[in-house]
Structure 1
């Protein structure tokens, strides 16, 4: 049976999907070599896919640098859309996948995460895990302490940056790309057309991200910018909530604000530079690496993040 003409036309307007997968991996890792290792292909193959995608769009997506690559404005905008699309596809596939093995796995998984990551990213997705693995009990706790200081009281940890040491296995979960964000109402009151316009706004900080704004402003070429004021909150999730309420502009981790952007609570008034912080990292207790429940959670969260375990 022939497919409707409008469906065929829509398909012709789609960019090459394998190239999008390579683009997302390069953006997440910040280098062609790391993306190639993640995708189990050659550096040359990744470069070819990126060139194909750039030719298709007719714009450069990355700035090639001596050490790795940097997203262009167009690349940062595309990453936002691609990440959201991959996330929806992952959720849809999980809803349709009826693998009886997942329903036979049982046990307990103790997950220790950063509070902001738990509230903004993990909790909204946990219902999906529980639907797929109803007999696995996830016990979630939060702290920003190094996992080596909490002993063996965890099976899986989620941190910013890698943790090395005896007894843990650490791997990248997803890239932490940051941009200024604010409420649409605040943007209407005082428009932000360029980095210089931030001087009219309060910049919001959290105790764990005190240096983030200065690093971003330096990369934006505005290291000497003086904001109207600075406001600090104890936790990152309070900083993001304050931004949504119109109290100022936050430098936000894009993975944490996906729902806020999609639902219109937050907007990104400036598309560049998309500052790359340390990756969100999965840290696994080495004593629990082979446990079925832990393996199931690891594979699920890696797939949900668009990572190597998908």
Structure 2
């Protein structure tokens, strides 16, 4: 009973909430007529709500002028609090609605991605998806094969470059931009100030990226440069792990190593040229494209990659401006 009384007393200390809604509209739009149009009520109804609020506070909230109204000092102070309260309420409502919708989606999503993409990009983020969609079962598999050879054993996948084939749809996920990267310890022993300094270092390769260094060095204006040694690995994730352990320099995909860079495990000693490999592509099995669980995963992964797509667009505009 005590709790109910306290709630009732708190409500009595609040001004009329509908009047606050009218007050915010008038302050935002600068006139009673504009507020009436925005709220789909009459001019008279808006005026009545404002008078009700001014009577409740006992102070004028607006200064009437020939071309509209502006908040008084007291009105401006109230508007600041009202905007903050409405913003917090809007955030809570949006979050609650999202959680409600998320929790109603159930199903299975079979995700097939490149092994290096799974280890360095997807797995560190996957817990966020499971938090948002706890009733969707995500089953991750890895292979470097073209998805058209995987058959119908996947719903959604990520590959390097487009996959145009019957039964598949492709969407650009994010750009694959690459730079030389190594552990900080490597630089402490042999600093790198120019491309020519790479001749003093071990260059790391993988089976699927064997020509990457050749392409990058050609773009850097040093097509004949050779490292002091070369180490080869079967997989990109082994190549990246070797770089973290200080075994040499790798030509790394920046989306894959952003967390390694943030944690200080890898550094990029040269900031250019940035070599653009084929974009990471999101591939969807058409037969499962309208499944709600698949759509939820597709929307989520595109949103997680959006900052990198935007960054790439900005860099592209800058490069064109310099030409």
Same fold (TM over 0.5): yes
The residue number in structure 2 matching 1:241 is 241
CA distance in 1, matches of 2:225, 2:183: 21
CA distance in 2, matches of 1:190, 1:308: 31
Deviations 1:25-79 (A, max 9, x none): xxxxxxxxxxxxxxxxxxxxxxxxxxxxxxxxxxxxxxxxxxxxxxxxxxxxxxx
SS in 1 for 2:306: coil
SS in 1 for 2:192: coil
2:186–2:248 CA contact under 8 A, matched in 1: yes
Deviations 1:174-209 (A, max 9, x none): 000000000000100000000000000000001110
- Please identify which structure carries the higher helix content: 2
CA distance in 1, matches of 2:254, 2:147: 24
1:156–1:282 CA contact under 8 A, matched in 2: yes
**Gap change, CA 1:309 and 1:134, over 3 Å in 2:** farther
CA distance in 1, matches of 2:163, 2:121: 20
What are structure 2's unaligned runs of at least 5 residues?
A: 1-90, 311-323
Q: Over alpha carbons, which structure has the higher Rg?
A: 2
Give runs of aligned pairs for residues 1-310 of structure 1, distance below 5 A.
97-98=95-96, 99=98, 100-306=100-306
CA distance in 1, matches of 2:258, 2:220: 23
CA offset at residue 103 of structure 1? 1.0
2:174–2:308 CA contact under 8 A, matched in 1: no
CA distance in 1, matches of 2:144, 2:273: 27
Using structure 1 for the length normalisation, give the TM-score: 0.68
2:160–2:280 CA contact under 8 A, matched in 1: yes
CA offset at residue 307 of structure 1? 6.7
CA distance in 2, matches of 1:107, 1:129: 14
CA distance in 2, matches of 1:201, 1:230: 9
CA distance in 2, matches of 1:218, 1:185: 27
Q: Whose relative contact order is higher, 1 or 2, with alpha carbons under 8 Å and at least 6 apart?
A: 1
Using structure 2 for the length normalisation, give the TM-score: 0.65
1:240–1:252 CA contact under 8 A, matched in 2: yes
CA distance in 1, matches of 2:238, 2:152: 29
CA distance in 2, matches of 1:242, 1:178: 17
- Bigger mean CA deviation after superposition, 134-143 or 300-309: 300-309
SS in 2 for 1:305: helix
CA distance in 2, matches of 1:246, 1:305: 29
The residue number in structure 2 matching 1:61 is none
2:105–2:133 CA contact under 8 A, matched in 1: yes
- Bigger mean CA deviation after superposition, 260-269 or 224-233: 224-233
Deviations 1:128-154 (A, max 9, x none): 000000000000000000111111000
**Gap change, CA 1:209 and 1:309, over 3 Å in 2:** closer
Aligned residue pairs total 216
2:103–2:133 CA contact under 8 A, matched in 1: yes
**Gap change, CA 1:190 and 1:147, over 3 Å in 2:** same
